[in-house]
Amino acid sequence: MAVPTAKRIREYLGDSYKESDEELIKLYLETHQFYRRLQAEVKSSKLMYEYTNKAGATNLVKNPLSIELTKTVQTLNNLLKSLGLTPAQRKKVGMGVNTDDGDDFDDF
């Protein structure tokens, strides 16, 4: 996976780039860095842990980091939406998307 850069995001935005996007770009890059750290940590640890509650019963629970990883992915997606860079948004405006793929699904 390529590490995103501010320059690359500005290039994706093209003519729709505005200076006010800088804060969102910065936040996206910081969040993506956090995502990569979480991802590496989750890969090196177990997905399920044994947890013993107050009553003494032991159960398997999800690794809390995997839950945070999911939340971080949602945050990244929301930031991309705010910048207008999700695939669905690019398709609407025809930005970098080949609209003639021979698939009639969109016409359905």
Q: pLDDT confidence of 108, banded at 50, 70, 90?
A: very low
pLDDT above 90 (res 8): yes
CA distance linking residue 104 with residue 58, whole number of Å:
52
Kindly list the domain boundaries of the chain, sorted by start residue: 19-85
CA distance linking residue 9 with residue 17, whole number of Å:
9
List CB contacts of 11: < 8 A, sequence separation 6 or more.
Answer: none
How confident is the model at residue 42, as a pLDDT? 94
How confident is the model at residue 30, as a pLDDT? 97
How confident is the model at residue 91, as a pLDDT? 75
| pLDDT tens sequence across 40-97 | 999 999 989 999 999 999 999 999 999 999 999 999 999 999 999 888 887 776 655 4
